[in-house]
Chains A and B, each alone.
Chain A
């Protein structure tokens, strides 16, 4: 079922499934200051964001972060305590779900079991009492779009998960939804199908140009599906931005650690650099917004670390400290190194040969600060790193975040 991309070629691009509207730019949907609590527990706290026309936004968060509640509030299946939901400029907060014209793709698709594929897709038009001829035409167009023409007479239980999902999408496109809402769309599928299906959906959405909101707890999925990602934590919005922004320039520790692995070191601002123990990392641009002596967190991803056995780090790599390789493990596409950083030694000059105090076989190893580094799979004849090697450690990319001691200072 999933062997090939099941998408119609762009033959009928003039057929638009987005609402008939003049504006093709601008805000399609926005939520303003959503708050909600269940019993005593706060689930949402002042959440606001916009979804642009034709954009796909991913709400990323762990279970219990409130992402599902946001989706249900936009759909009208739940009421916010405070805050408004605005769809294409119209405040719909007080409208019931059926008057909002929102398309929801439920986690288990929620296809009507007693209806065939074509009846499922035509349901929205049927209850709107559209003429039969128009209904047939739209259903045919949609069946073609999602490539299910030969399955039109089948019942949902006769379809694969991916096919059911396409029926669910077509069913909402039939009434030209204001916005599409996907509730953990790939949660019920195995890893392989999941990867395949999200590419399929991405391509389909590019074609139909309907603004969409996805919710997921899978960071890889978020990075691939979203034009922008909104990271939610415990009911509030941590950061919203393009995949590149949230991944490479996380604004909070939560964002940094939730989207992939990150190393975290505590430091202090000294002049134009971040001082971490005895090491100093020159970072004029990154430290500009902090005052002298402020406590900060240095956050960097394992793949943003560069290593060198001599003092010569590659171009664009800022030297952080020296370290000893503690362990090398091979993880398929890349190598994973555990390194102990020497942060208690005096600072070294840029071209001075590394000298070491940290060891890995004596009790002093504990003075070394552990970090995790990933390196692309080395070429066959390249010199490999092995445990015990002493290396100079530099960073190509990192973020400097304020180190609040109290959560409420945030």
Chain B
């Protein structure tokens, strides 16, 4: 049979089901099956075991620690990402492009390197850390985790917000100024509302990335159960100890969380496109 006859059988486009089938055949095993296995294994010994491993004190602590440190890293990065994007898109100065590249650098740096770099800077014998007394060390405390999260996720919010600033028409701010608004009033009433979508998606991206951060956290946190152990570290530790159910329960929670965040991002896209369109 010739190819031509395969493609079209009496007005029925064969290419369509074939393409969809191949696509699903590749995507499903690659992406969906590993995720599915988490859920299957997590509940395989009964929901009782699952629940018990979920509410274990160390597990609850790890989850809480992850959420709290990620939250503060997100707050910091959104505020400073916004400020940085404002400065870098509104003012032209010598070396501006170099600054933009530097700020965006953490995206490309392996997270383990980032963690190591932070240790060399803030650690007991680090460049800055050596000036701090033994009682005021930052490394191996929850603050170190926030620091690592900030470092690793900094380019995310900045990267989402800056393009919106760049494409935003200057005449909106000029109009506001001629109407009589101060810079602050203009920022608050005119600029910020147009950035709502970008801030929202930048925050979600930052948070999602921070919750899952492993490489840098394991180096700077010390990985002390009940003190500086975040959820991903908990999974790793429990897996190493052979407690698959404990690791699995947290893995389910993290997977669900990222699934929710990603769905919000995806389905809010129309809403965000609407924002940028207007700006």
* Cα of A128 to Cα of B190 in the assembled complex, Å: 15
A323 at the A/B interface (Cβ < 8 Å)? no
Docked-complex contact A114 and B179, CB < 8 angstroms: no
Residue on B with the closest CB to A75?
Answer: B178
In the complex, how many residue pairs between chain A and chain B have their CB atoms under 8 Å apart?
A: 74
* Cα of A102 to Cα of B196 in the assembled complex, Å: 30
A61 at the A/B interface (Cβ < 8 Å)? no
Docked-complex contact A127 and B185, CB < 8 angstroms: yes
Residues of A within 8 A of B171 (CB): 106-108, 110
| Given contact pairs A106-B171, A108-B169, A123 touches B189 in the complex (Cβ within 8 A) | yes
Docked-complex contact B193 and A114, CB < 8 angstroms: yes
* Cα of A171 to Cα of B169 in the assembled complex, Å: 18
Closest Cβ of chain B to A177, distance in Å, is: 9
Q: Which of B182, B185, B278 contacts A113 (CB 8 A)?
A: B278
Residues of A within 8 A of B277 (CB): 157
Residue on A with the closest CB to B185?
Answer: A127
The size class of the interface chain B forms with chain A is 20 to 34
Most chain B beta carbons < 10 A, residue from A101, A106, A107, A171 = A106
* Cα of A156 to Cα of B175 in the assembled complex, Å: 15
Closest Cβ of chain A to B148, distance in Å, is: 36
> Would you list which residues of chain B between 149 and 197 have a CB under 8 Å from chain A?
169, 171-172, 174-182, 185, 189-190, 193-194, 196
Docked-complex contact B175 and A175, CB < 8 angstroms: no
Docked-complex contact B169 and A103, CB < 8 angstroms: no
Docked-complex contact A123 and B179, CB < 8 angstroms: yes
* Cα of A37 to Cα of B115 in the assembled complex, Å: 52
* Cα of A102 to Cα of B279 in the assembled complex, Å: 24
* Cα of A171 to Cα of B172 in the assembled complex, Å: 13
Residues of B within 8 A of A101 (CB): 180
Q: Which of B178, B189, B193, B194 contacts A98 (CB 8 A)?
A: B178
* Cα of A146 to Cα of B168 in the assembled complex, Å: 28
Residues of A within 8 A of B179 (CB): 98, 123-124, 127, 171-172, 175
* Cα of A115 to Cα of B172 in the assembled complex, Å: 12
| Given contact pairs A113-B279, A157-B278, A104 touches B180 in the complex (Cβ within 8 A) | no
Sample of 6 further A-B pairs with CB below 8 A, known A98-B180, A110-B172, A127-B180: A106-B174, A112-B172, A115-B193, A124-B180, A127-B179, A172-B178
